[in-house]
Structure 1
Amino acid sequence: QINRVMEARTVFIASYDQDLDELTFERMYEDGEPVALPDEARKRRGENTLTFYVARRRQALLLSGDVDAEARRLGIETKTVGSDNPAVVWMGVPMITGERVQGVIAVQHFTDALAYDQNDLNVLQSIANQTGIALANARLYQRVDVRLGERVEELTALSAISRELNSTLEPGRIFEVVLDEALKITGATHGFISLVEAEAQLLETRASRGYSADEMQRLEAEPVPLGSGITGRAAVTGKPVVVGDVQNYPDYLQAIETTRSEIAVPIRYAQSIVGVLNLESPELEAFTDDHVRFLEALAEQAAIAIGNAQRLDELKERNDLLRRKAEQLTNLFQIGQAFRTDQPLDDLMDEVAHAIQETVGFNLVSLSLMEGDPPRLRRVAAAGIPVAVFEQMWRVVKPGGRVIISTPHRERIRYVLCIHCNQPTPIHAHLNSFDEYRLSMYLRQAHFGFVTVGNKALLLLRTHIVLGWLPHCLWRAIDWCANRLIGKPAHIIAWWDKSQH
C-alpha cells in the first residue's frame, strides 16, 4: 500500500518492545519485493539509531539531504537496514495504540533527496496508525490464545495430579508428578520438594527432578536451615519467593551453576508450612505471576498428599496400638488362667515369663524367687533372646539364603549355685526356652518353617541308644509316631528363608 501511495524504494516495518527497548524488524521491501533479513540483523536492543529515536520519542521524523549529518545533529547514529549505501532521505513514523508504541514504519530513498515531503510523512503516519491498531489486535488475540492454551495445560496438569491422589497414598509418587507438571508448564529445568523437619528446624529434600546423581546426593545430604536461602525464606514467611536473578540475591544457596532465576512456593497443610516447592531456570526472569498462581495450586495438591500420608500413618499407629492392647489383654487372661492350674511352680513361672515378654514387648524377661534363710534369689524362669542376634544373622545371609536354628523344645531352664560367684546360674548356659510360636515371632518379614525331632519320653527311657543303630528313615518314623502319641518333642529346628528380591 505504501508503494502505491508514494515512491518508496525501501520500506521496513519493525515491532517494538517498550519493556525491553527492543526492535524486531518484521518485514522489509525493496521496490515492492520482499527482502529476507539475516537472523542476526532482525533483533536489535538499546541502540541509538533513527528507528529507536522514533520509537522512544513517539513522534514522526523526516530527514533529507545529508541524512548522516542531520542524524548526528540530533545525537543519533545512522545504520542502514538492507543496504550498505547511505540514504539521502529517511522518513519514519511510530505505530501507537493508547499508551504503547507497537512499532515503527520507515521509508528511505538512496538517490532522490526530494522524494518525500511533509505530506508524505502525514500519509505514512495515517497508515501507521491503522497498522498499529491491527498489530495491537493481533497481539491481543495471540496473548489470549496463548493464555487459553496455557490454562488448558494447567488444568490438564491438575487433573493428572488429582488422578494420582485418587490412586495412591504414597506421597513420593505425588511429589514426582507435581514436579513433572511444574517443569513442563513453567519451562524450568530443575526442581525439588523439601519438607520441614520441625524439631531440627531444617528443610529436607524428599523429591527432585532434573538434577544429576551427584547433585541429588548433595541436595539430600545438605538440609537447608529454615530462613536460609530462597527455599528457607519461603518456609519462614509462608509466601512465594520469586528471584529473577539469583546472583543479586544476598542469601542465595547455589545448587547448580547454571541457575539464573528461581521460585519457591510454600506448601501449607492444617495452617502450618510443611514444605516448599522449588524450581530453577537457566534464564533470567523466567517466572511470572501466572506461574506463581499455578505453582500455588500445585502446592495445594502436594499438601493433600502430605495430609493423606499423615492420616494413614496415624491410622496405622492407632491400629497397632489397638492390636497391642488386644494382645496384652489376651496374655493377661492367659496368665490369670495359669495361676488357677496345678502346674509345677517352675512351669508356671516359665509361662508367666513368656507372657510378660509378649505382652510388654521386652527382649529379655527373667523371674526369680526369694528362698532360704538367709534369703537368696533363685532364677526360676526366663524368656526372650536379644533381637540383635537374629538381626545380625539376617544381615550376613545373602538373598536366597536361610537362617537355621536348632534348640531344645520348651526346655525347662534349671539353675545351680555357681561356685565362683555364689549366684544361681542356668545349666549349660541356657537362658531361654523356645517353641514354634515363640520362634515365629522373630524375623517376621521372612518365610518361617520348622520341624520337631526327638521325643522326651523316648530319651527318658534311653531308647535312643537302640534307635541309633536303626536306619534313619525307620528312626524318623518311630520318632514321628512317638510325637503323635506323646506330644513331647525334644528339639525344634527352625528356619527363615531370605527372599531373592
Structure 2
Amino acid sequence: MVNTTLDLDTTLRRVAELVRKVIDYEIFAILLLNEKTQDLRVRFHVGYPKEIADRVNIKVGEGVTGQAAQLRQAVLVADVLDADGYIDAVPNVRSELAIPLIIKNRVIGVIDIEAREPDYFTEEHKRLLTLIGSRMAVGIENARLHTRTTRQARTLLLLNEIARELTSILNLDELFRRIAELVSRLIDYQMFSILLLDSNTQKLQHRFALRFKETIHIKHDIPQGRGIVGAAAESRQAVLVSDVSKDPRYVLLNPETRSELAVPLIYKDKVIGVLDLEHTRRGFFNEDHKRTVTTLAAQVAIAIENARLYEEIARQEKRLERDLALARELQFRLLPQVLPKLRDLEVAAKFVPARAIGGDLYDFVNYSLSRLGIVIGDVSGKGAPAAIYAALVNGILRSHAPIEPGPAEMLSAVNNSLGERRIEGQFVSIIYAVWDDAERTLQVANSGLPRPIYCHNGKVEVIEATGLPLGLFDDADYDEFNFRAKPGDLFVFFSDGILDARNNDGELFGRQRVEQIVSRAADKSADWIVDTLFKAVLEHAGSEDPFDDQTVVAIKVKGSPAKRK
C-alpha cells in the first residue's frame, strides 16, 4: 500500500495509517533526515501542536529519535522520566518508541510514537515495526525522490517563465512588486526586501520591502560588509543563516526573524543590490532555496538594470532638446566599453548613429569554453524611441545568454520575448553568431540584416543567411550556418545603414562597394577594415547626413593564411 503512490504527503499519511494497525497511538511523527546538516525535522505528525512541529529540529544522537538514527536500530523507552537526554517536545509524554527508516544501509528518517502512560509500548511493537520499517523506508524514499525531481522541474519552468516576464517590465516600482510576487511562488518567505547599492555612498538602500505580505518602508541604509545583506554584497555570494540569533553579523530590523537568506544582484560583474528573504522559523531556508534564488537573482539584476535604463532614457526624452547629449552617452554605455580579447581572433566594431541617438546595437556575450556570442542589430525607427527599444532588446538578449543558446535558438527566444510584449510598429533585425576560439568555428543566424561577408582563400563569399525580423511574427524559424575557419579568414557583419548611405546625387553606397573594399583589404587587420569601410561611406556621402544608423563588426582569425599553390 505504501509503494502504490509517488506523492510524498500521501505516502506519509499511508505509513501513519499502517502503523496505527499495529499500535493505536495518540502522538505520532515521521521525521526526515537532512543528510548534509544531520538534522531530523518533522515532515508528518499527529498530536503535535503546529508551532511545536514546525520548531522541532533534532540532531542525530540527541533525544530518543536522534539515538535511533545514530544507533540505526529501534529505541524503546518505557518511561521517559528515567531516560537520559529525553527531549520534552510534547507535554505529559511518558513512553516513546522510535524506529529508524533505513534504505540501502542509509538512514533517511525516524518514525516516532509517544504515549501519555508509561510502559505503553512492548517488545512486540518494536519487533513488528522494525520488520515493516524497511518497506516503509523504500516507499518514503521513492516518494521523496519523485517529489524532489518534480519540484526541481517545476522550479526550472517557473524560473524560465519569471525570466521572460521580468525582462518585459520597464517600470521599477511595478518590477519590484512583481519580483516579490514571483519569488513567493518559489519560496514561502515571510519578510522580503530588495536593496540597491548606491554607487556614491556604497550603502545598500531599501527600495522595496514586505513584512507578512504588507508593504513597509525602511529607511535604514546598510554599508557593504555590515549585516547579512552587507556580507552578501561584499562577498558577492549568497549567505544562508539558519539561526540569526547565533550570527554576530545580523542587524536587528525584524525582531521575529529567525532565519535569513541574502543573495547579491550582480550585473555585468558588478554588485547592484541584494535580495533578502527572512522567516520566523529557524532553519527554514535550505540549499535548494539558495540555489534557486541565486539563479533567479541573475535574471532580476538584468531586469532591474533594464528598467532603470529604460526609465532614465524615458525621462531624458521629455526634455530631449536640452539633454540630447546625455541621452547619447547613455546609449553608448549599452555598447561594450572594451572589445573582447581572444587568443585566435581579432575583433573590431564601430557604431555611428544617424541622429544623436539611434537604434543600432552590437554586443559581445562571453560563453564558457572559450566561446563568444556576437550580436549586431538594427531596430526599426530612429532617435530616442529606437534607442529605448534597443535597450529593451539588449536586456532580453542578456537574460537568455546564461543558458548559452545557439544562434538560431537565441533569435527564436528573443522573438518570443518581444512577441509577449509587442510594441506597435517596433521590431529589430539581428545577426547572432557564436565563435568557438578553441575549434575556430563560427555559427551564424540572421533575422533580417544584410547578408554578412566571409572572405577566405582570396575569395569573397556572401553568407546566404536570411530571416524575418524579430517582434513581428510569433512563429518564425531561423537557419543556422556553420563555418570552420582558418588563419587569415575574415567575417564582416554590417547594418543596412552602410548599404543605404546616399551621396548628393541619391546614389546608394551599395553592397558591391562593401565587397570590393573587403576583398582588397583581406590581408589587413579587423580594425583597419572597419575604419576603411566607414571612411569610404563618409567620402561617398559627402555633405549628405546619414539617413540610418551605421554599424560594422569584423572578426578575423589570427595567423597568416597558408600560401596557395
TM-score, reference length from structure 2: 0.41
**Max radius of gyration: which structure?**
1
Q: Which has the higher helix share?
A: 1
